[in-house]
Structure 1
């Protein structure tokens, strides 16, 4: 048994069942099995208005198994759930929290919903569990204030409370609309419901205070769940969990995992091309596709993108953009899924002027440099803000445009310049174009004055590439054409991911709120510089020949002087 049954329950069970040992054993078995506990002890109100035992569906069972797997592994349970609408995860999470809190002593549970109405619904669910649970495991409860269940002896006499205090556990339900959450008590069981829909200005602050108050002890429970709502804090937490950057286990549940999401097929029902693809990809039946068709038409205003957000088939489907997307994300996803080359990670050691294999290196190499080939290295620089974009650079082959390497991270400008110097020399002295906006001037200063890089790109008599009102529209236009028409071999999945969050904001293509476009800009610079690279390489070749012929003209500085 993963719970420690409270003394109040043990006493009551022994007293009432002392002459029926088989019933006592049966009760112990029920309390040791959460799914049995739900079926035998808890009641819910169904969508049809009936009162029924809580029976877990397959998606709920998957979630429950993960909870108990982490408990049995001696871990604090941390789970983040991305789901389709109304799959019953609030119901099963509240059942888990009621199970842990109402059967054990000195446990604090804290539940936060997106609005006052939603928090009232969740509190009513707890109240209903308590009202309908069999008397043999119903803990004492004192009169509660708004949205709080307190399991303790309600008697007024202090002596009686000392002799039989009850559980001293409580369940508190609040709304994310509150000004402050969870500033004092330790939380043992936390449920953050529909986090994507919490007030935007309070969301990050509330999550920080809740997670700080959540116990780190084994057996504690932290569940963050939501339907997607664009690119915001929940999306960041989900991505961090998927990448392994947090201890939260990501669980995704598609709409077709819900057994109720189906409708009878009408006469003459024929699948569209898109529906055929969905049927083959996810093994759907016609009743599920008829439910999808009905829901798009009646609940989503005829917009399949809205359906994808509310009822996703895959995690990437869920996160709709806050503006109009520049690209068709399904097309971009197909390109990303079709990538043929898997790169190998490396570290740039600019001290030894070497590139060495490293499992977590910042450089991903798709093609090694080949003798006689010429390369373009284009670099975008970070904005210089803590929450700004990253440094990003791409190496492409000058003749074919094939992607050869991708560099991404955050570095001091001098270190970034030295890494670019080593990378450019490695690729046969690539034509190196650094965006000179923002912190780019400092990066160029390192390349020019410290590294003496021999082949730096110039734009209108200035070092580097300048992104401005004249050049940016051309960059984005050529980038869109390259992606749309699949002009070049692209191997970086993260570049395609950025394409999925590139939106039109008042006629300007830029990253959606909370997203980045540093890879897009770096690759766009590479495409622009490639168009004029031939004359630079020819110039550099002549310059090298002149140096070989006359050592008097040789300058130890940069090659373009």
Structure 2
């Protein structure tokens, strides 16, 4: 028998008795078995977190003492992220472990990570752990309600009288280990300590986040663990850190947990002033219900039919929407993008974009290691238009893009995003213009767009397929070479974005690519201004939609 067998035995006993005294007797007996069996004891020393389900007790939502059995998200994090990394660090395969957790409310991460640190304090000599909370109330709660509660409920054979146990620290004399908690920004918090583990709780809500985080992180030793866990808090420094992870420019590992990964988030229909049938019918039809708009009901439909949730889960989410309004997306997000953007001021209709994202359209063909996606091959007689944003092509985050639109259907047929010099970008645009029935090419001519247009006109001989700004349409083309392309000014930017917003809301345009939809979700309106810097695909699709009614001189129809 190993530790996992003993955990299953404890679970079985609890399922039968639901008696905390019987559980206490089992914990005493099982501990004696563990310390008398060298193999089991060594397993516990290698994986100290097994102590949680073997010996820990927690207070449930009804204020009853119950065994601490992990919920789904806690187990997933332990078994698939923290546990494997800890084992690698134990055998010196990795040095510092750095993990950021983006989550919904009350999924149990603070409780679990606190328990994990206590396991290390009990089993390792000289362990130093630290938790930084975002405010003083949380600091006291983490120590008194969680950590001290865990420690006080341990059996006598494990628990010792701490050298110090107060509102801020737990110090063990026998193995010289300690765990402390403080409020982010408090003077000298963690300074001078040689920390083995640091837990930064609700980090997105810290004041002066980077400054305070840098101060405490300096106390970490070579082989250490640092975990940030938080719900989103708008477009702040944590969001910037998260973006760096997703762009592959960070030493941190990021993990996201949607609200529905917590299985207890479900609600029956008892006590409601509507029937289960009425609710499910509204979900199925995507109709406004009980004051909740049709877009949210369509999202529930997607969760029910695409994401595999059951009726009680979507009813719970509906109830939270009634309670929290739009804040439900920040507090209980379905996606990491949703978590951040609903706490900002998104320009485009996020709910409609989420519905499109959940459809998960698959391209027919992916080329150049994912740089180009084909969703529909050209059809005879169809008219296409290409919108393009141009970058210098010298930096990793500096991408040139194109977006190809079927003018009649409004459907995306292809897109591209890559690091490339302007002249090579021009050659690719020429290739796909010819492929898609001599499609009109609308290149943003600002900055490096002139180089692309020069390649298209002089090398590719594509001038008859180039978009000309409407104001220049009556000019003699041979003397107006610099007027090819789309000129983005403040008025034209707002025009093309407004036109695209209307098209998305009225479902005139059908965007399929995940990367384009995600960029559209990230466009924020702040202080009356909209920035599309770094949103290269957004610019490409907006240009394509804005010029869709124009025709190339070389039209073949």
TM-score by length of 1: 0.70
Q: Match of 1:484? A: 505
Relative to structure 1, the CA distance from residue 213 to residue 344 in structure 2 (aligned partners, 3 Å threshold; closer, same or farther) is farther
Q: Match of 1:161? A: none
CA contact (8 A) 1:182 1:210 kept: yes
Relative to structure 1, the CA distance from residue 371 to residue 418 in structure 2 (aligned partners, 3 Å threshold; closer, same or farther) is farther
Q: Match of 2:271? A: 266
Tell me if 1:56 matches 2:70: yes
Distance 2:259 2:205 in 1: 19
Larger deviation, residues 367-376 vs 183-192: 367-376
Q: Match of 1:435? A: 444
CA contact (8 A) 1:380 1:391 kept: yes
Deviation at 1:93, TM superposition (A): 0.9
Aligned-pair Cα RMSD in Å:
4.4
Relative to structure 1, the CA distance from residue 83 to residue 526 in structure 2 (aligned partners, 3 Å threshold; closer, same or farther) is same
Q: Match of 1:68? A: 83
Question: Of residues 112, 126, 130 in structure 2, which corresponds to 1:92?
Answer: 112
Question: Of residues 28, 35, 40 in structure 2, which corresponds to 1:24?
Answer: 35
Relative to structure 1, the CA distance from residue 119 to residue 392 in structure 2 (aligned partners, 3 Å threshold; closer, same or farther) is farther
Alignment length (residue pairs):
482
Deviations 1:198-250 (A, max 9, x none): 23xx3345556666765665xx5343322233344444555666677766252
Relative to structure 1, the CA distance from residue 488 to residue 311 in structure 2 (aligned partners, 3 Å threshold; closer, same or farther) is closer
Deviations 1:336-391 (A, max 9, x none): 33364515443xxxxxxxxxxx325x333345567887754322245999998753
Larger deviation, residues 49-58 vs 22-31: 22-31
- Specify the SS of the correspondent of 2:551: helix
Q: Match of 1:359? A: 369
Tell me if 1:331 matches 2:319: no
Q: Match of 2:430? A: 424
Deviations 1:419-469 (A, max 9, x none): 223332453265433223355456556666888764544433534311224
CA contact (8 A) 1:256 1:313 kept: no
Larger deviation, residues 447-456 vs 415-424: 447-456
Distance 1:135 1:37 in 2: 15
Question: Of residues 95, 103, 115 in structure 2, which corresponds to 1:83?
Answer: 103
Question: Of residues 522, 532, 543 in structure 1, which corresponds to 2:540?
Answer: 522
Deviation at 1:96, TM superposition (A): 0.5
Deviations 1:133-160 (A, max 9, x none): 34433467544787344444xxxxxxxx
Distance 2:363 2:36 in 1: 57
| Aligned pairs (5 A) from 1:224-235 | 224-235=228-239
Deviations 1:128-184 (A, max 9, x none): 4344434433467544787344444xxxxxxxxxxxxx4343323233335887676
- Specify the SS of the correspondent of 2:549: helix
Relative to structure 1, the CA distance from residue 134 to residue 323 in structure 2 (aligned partners, 3 Å threshold; closer, same or farther) is closer
- Specify the SS of the correspondent of 1:133: coil
Unaligned ranges ≥5, structure 1: 3-16, 153-165, 347-357, 542-561
CA contact (8 A) 2:386 2:405 kept: yes
Deviations 1:316-337 (A, max 9, x none): 5433434554444232222233
- Specify the SS of the correspondent of 2:547: helix
Q: Match of 1:391? A: 400
Q: Match of 2:56? A: 42
Question: Of residues 380, 389, 405 in structure 2, which corresponds to 1:380?
Answer: 389
Distance 1:110 1:145 in 2: 14
- Specify the SS of the correspondent of 2:507: coil
Q: Match of 1:254? A: 259
- Specify the SS of the correspondent of 1:466: coil
Q: Match of 2:491? A: 470
Tell me if 1:308 matches 2:297: no
Q: Match of 2:227? A: 223
Q: Match of 1:118? A: 138
Distance 1:489 1:293 in 2: 27
Q: Match of 2:124? A: 104
Relative to structure 1, the CA distance from residue 452 to residue 179 in structure 2 (aligned partners, 3 Å threshold; closer, same or farther) is farther
- Specify the SS of the correspondent of 1:502: coil
Relative to structure 1, the CA distance from residue 128 to residue 520 in structure 2 (aligned partners, 3 Å threshold; closer, same or farther) is same
CA contact (8 A) 1:384 1:439 kept: no
CA contact (8 A) 1:182 1:213 kept: yes
Deviation at 1:251, TM superposition (A): 4.3
| Aligned pairs (5 A) from 1:138-153 | 138=159, 141-143=162-164, 147-152=168-173
- Specify the SS of the correspondent of 1:421: helix
CA contact (8 A) 1:343 1:366 kept: yes
Deviations 1:23-50 (A, max 9, x none): 7327965946767623554344444455
CA contact (8 A) 1:324 1:503 kept: yes
CA contact (8 A) 2:393 2:422 kept: no
Deviation at 1:97, TM superposition (A): 1.0
CA contact (8 A) 1:241 1:250 kept: no
CA contact (8 A) 2:110 2:201 kept: yes
Distance 1:417 1:181 in 2: 55
Distance 1:405 1:294 in 2: 39
TM-score by length of 2: 0.70
Relative to structure 1, the CA distance from residue 260 to residue 321 in structure 2 (aligned partners, 3 Å threshold; closer, same or farther) is closer
CA contact (8 A) 2:266 2:314 kept: no
Tell me if 1:195 matches 2:203: yes
- Specify the SS of the correspondent of 2:116: helix
Relative to structure 1, the CA distance from residue 496 to residue 472 in structure 2 (aligned partners, 3 Å threshold; closer, same or farther) is same
CA contact (8 A) 1:345 1:359 kept: yes
- Specify the SS of the correspondent of 2:442: strand
